[in-house]
Structure 1
């Protein structure tokens, strides 16, 4: 055993929420065996408790040290679930008229609610999923939620009435919120900050471009097989993913990995203990859950988190507002059928893809350039200039799409406008996510849950008013109002670039919960 004054390795880049570390002298022991032994622990000089930590900076059990193949496989699984989830959110939009006709309803608000209620599940799910993941790990939540997702898509396919369909859609959204809530945390668990932009690119395009795929699939499948097959298809696809995820998804959360290691030591060599995880907060599971369940809401009280989350929420709601109004624009004005109306979302898809390429290619270089120019280390604020680009593209896309649709120009013109909007949405969303994850790495899951709650509440409610707004203002002025709101958010990136670090490090706004 090494001397009691030796410090353990720093794992500050590991995403560990509510990380209460023992402020005591510690020692680290190297362990070359895969099994947990006394060598895995360090002595607490004050209490006689041996503190369990990773075995130095190269410990293979630390997810940061996993082989690239294992990291890639884990991120791919998370991304696959993240792509499926938003497809499920919009697959019913192209079938809305058939669903309403089947249940003998002509209420446009209820028709929009069938699509957007899924996002209310997105907003509610993180409240439980984030704290449960801190107690039991990310992997069990992924596995449980993918099964939940399958079950309630089967229920949607069998729904006997409109009320049941709305409820089942809400419950499916809760299951679908899991990869959206935990995905950034899982990536932060295994990828260091300087490489995170590239790893997040595929994940983010899944969460943003996924909604573009749903209306295309639903648009062609509904007339061919009926609206219920939209949900049967989601159940089949998510069932296939579940078969892969359940036996293979590894645990990435350092808190849980060390907790299991500690329990094994206390069971196998109790006479040499007691052992305690370095990341143990000292709370019981019930206390930890009660403490953690409110953290996403508390984080919204932090100005930086609230402002960025609000911006992303407004942007995200524009996406779903457009999806719920496309049938009126391209169906009524341009005479597109169900399938071709779904294809107009390709404009968003193309714009989103280009936005991801831009963010993935520019973010890392931009941070390195600004760090060198300002003679500082990398800072989260150095990611914010890309937010300005997204903030400019969004109003351009809204004005372009709105007024070209209002004047009934050739159908390709408004679709090009939606491509600008898609690019603006993905760049804004990705830049905001990268900034918050880098600024609050140890709270990655909770800060993501905070943004998800606000974003999905906005995306649930705004589209419900979309039909009334466009009926009153028309597509030109209706989209212009949205464009003016987007312009009002433009200075946010500049303000946070200049003052963000000062705000984050002010004692009053420190995250200490």
Structure 2
């Protein structure tokens, strides 16, 4: 049982756990809320964290998440306060360090079984986003459509759902727990997947795809929190890597499966297969998974005790005191304000949005490109996505290995700043235009098919090398409100990825594959200086920026 649950948690520990669970640190985790923990005295200029006051989410939050984890609350009386609170008969908490109701005390078999189920569900959701991409021409024939814009929108509308669904699922999980959200969203995901499989016209199909994305986004929101609920810090890194493999591999493996499945059974079977597998995962999750959210479990315990004892004063130690209206406000309003008023959040979100748009431009055009330029047909078309997947995996490995080494070096020196995360982003930024030029002109010249496939691998490597450092940088900069910053970035990149690819076919028709991809490459070249500027001026920008929530 982690010792941190039976002593007053540090400011950094609460922030770290909240970031892992996907919500801001003024909402309690199983370590408590930032409101219950005095900030380090060295951060005298840090803003007040009380919920009913304006909060400056950027100014004064320059210290990184990692340095906060190493800091203490700065109060010698804190452990005594925590001990008093633990023995207060009105406060409901775990019954000692070995309480079997605490998910942290589950058996290793149950913990890793839960992680496996969540990882499988998380893998399926991104898989479904692009699985039927090779079958898009067949869908167009079925619905008698020749609209190039709809051809791209059929694929990208799924990610549009990612922009809206998670904004509602996050506060709902704080009120009702993770398990009801998993089961409800899984069931609705299956329903809308089946609906897409039997759609009789284009409008129905696009609407059902949108709702697939809305409900399919739930594991991406809840998965990190589930892992943080049950896996101790020393093992959490391994679990998070396993969980993150789904969003990385799924979108690239899906078209390979979908290409052959479409050729063998038709495009509708892409959805039937997803529905069948999702149904199996849902049944398994209903059998094996249990609620993991400590605040929700303790609130249920307090409710039972109030009913059995008649003592209405009993209260969970992790009770946030927030109304549903407040939870929704923080979930929806905060990200919007941060996106519009925090320059660092705005700039990083724009960078991520553009790189994500490139990914979905490729997803929506690969089939047409390799069909027209290389006469690929049937299941072979799905193999055109292979380079992108291999490049993405390589980018994830390089970032994890070398990025962590760089950060560890600065932490050891005691001079770590969030901007040290951006070194890898500087490198990745150059791979994006190189990959776009490589892919575009090799396709235009109809060179051997391996040349553009390798070019997409370079592009996939650059995408991961920019996207992952940007995400960790937002967490380090905004610390207490990291989840809102990430939500802001997610909304913008989902909207961009859904809308920009709509014009990709027209772009290629007018400019050709060479100059069309060169246009995208020139735009990515314009973005290259962003991490360099933030490395040099990021700290100054953070100290001079004020964002009130």
Q: TM-score, normalised by structure 1?
A: 0.85
For 2:165, the equivalent position in structure 1 comes to 125
Indicate which of 145, 154, 161 corresponds to 2:201: 161
Aligned counterparts, 1:461-472, within 5 A: 461-472=499-510
- The range that moved more, 148-157 or 7-16, is 7-16
Deviation at 1:83, TM superposition (A): 1.6
For 1:342, the equivalent position in structure 2 comes to 382
Query: For the residues of structure 1 that align with 2:178 and 2:478, how far apart are their CA atoms?
Result: 18
For 1:8, the equivalent position in structure 2 comes to 8
CA gap 1:78/1:393 in 2 versus in 1, 3 angstroms: farther
CA gap 1:297/1:397 in 2 versus in 1, 3 angstroms: same
Indicate which of 510, 519, 523 corresponds to 1:485: 523
Deviation at 1:499, TM superposition (A): 4.2
Deviation at 1:183, TM superposition (A): 3.2
Query: For the residues of structure 1 that align with 2:97 and 2:469, how far apart are their CA atoms?
Result: 30
2:394 pairs with 1:391: no
Deviation at 1:404, TM superposition (A): 0.9
Query: For the residues of structure 1 that align with 2:97 and 2:472, how far apart are their CA atoms?
Result: 25
Indicate conservation of the 8 Å contact 2:152/2:365, yes or no: no
Indicate conservation of the 8 Å contact 1:201/1:356, yes or no: no
2:257 pairs with 1:217: yes
- The range that moved more, 152-161 or 126-135, is 126-135
2:283 pairs with 1:280: no
Query: For the residues of structure 2 that align with 1:194 and 1:299, how far apart are their CA atoms?
Result: 32
CA gap 1:454/1:162 in 2 versus in 1, 3 angstroms: same
For 1:35, the equivalent position in structure 2 comes to none
For 1:113, the equivalent position in structure 2 comes to 153
Indicate which of 493, 496, 500 corresponds to 1:458: 496
For 1:267, the equivalent position in structure 2 comes to 307
CA gap 1:381/1:262 in 2 versus in 1, 3 angstroms: farther
Query: For the residues of structure 1 that align with 2:162 and 2:411, how far apart are their CA atoms?
Result: 36
Indicate which of 187, 196, 206 corresponds to 2:246: 206
- The range that moved more, 188-197 or 467-476, is 188-197
2:497 pairs with 1:497: no
1:383-427 Cα distance to aligned partner (Å, 9 max, x none): 222222221221111111011111111111000000011111122
1:471-498 Cα distance to aligned partner (Å, 9 max, x none): 1111112111211222222222233334
1:37-71 Cα distance to aligned partner (Å, 9 max, x none): xx98454xxxxx94445689998766677666555
Query: For the residues of structure 1 that align with 2:206 and 2:215, how far apart are their CA atoms?
Result: 15
For 2:270, the equivalent position in structure 1 comes to 230
CA gap 1:141/1:180 in 2 versus in 1, 3 angstroms: same
Deviation at 1:438, TM superposition (A): 4.3
RMSD across aligned positions (CA): 3.1
SS for the counterpart of 1:464 is: helix
Query: For the residues of structure 2 that align with 1:76 and 1:430, how far apart are their CA atoms?
Result: 23
Unaligned runs of 5+ in 1: 1-5, 30-38, 44-48
For 2:58, the equivalent position in structure 1 comes to none
Q: How many residues align?
A: 489
For 1:289, the equivalent position in structure 2 comes to 328
Deviation at 1:362, TM superposition (A): 2.1
Indicate conservation of the 8 Å contact 1:217/1:342, yes or no: yes
SS for the counterpart of 2:17 is: coil
Deviation at 1:189, TM superposition (A): 4.9
For 2:397, the equivalent position in structure 1 comes to 357
Deviation at 1:463, TM superposition (A): 0.9
Query: For the residues of structure 1 that align with 2:179 and 2:532, how far apart are their CA atoms?
Result: 38
Indicate conservation of the 8 Å contact 2:395/2:461, yes or no: yes
CA gap 1:62/1:394 in 2 versus in 1, 3 angstroms: farther
Unaligned runs of 5+ in 2: 1-5, 28-32, 39-77
Aligned counterparts, 1:77-88, within 5 A: 77-88=117-128
Query: For the residues of structure 2 that align with 1:500 and 1:162, how far apart are their CA atoms?
Result: 46
Query: For the residues of structure 2 that align with 1:236 and 1:278, how far apart are their CA atoms?
Result: 42
Deviation at 1:289, TM superposition (A): 2.9
CA gap 1:358/1:477 in 2 versus in 1, 3 angstroms: same
Indicate conservation of the 8 Å contact 1:8/1:53, yes or no: no
2:330 pairs with 1:330: no
For 1:426, the equivalent position in structure 2 comes to 464
Q: TM-score, normalised by structure 2?
A: 0.80
CA gap 1:54/1:478 in 2 versus in 1, 3 angstroms: farther
2:138 pairs with 1:98: yes
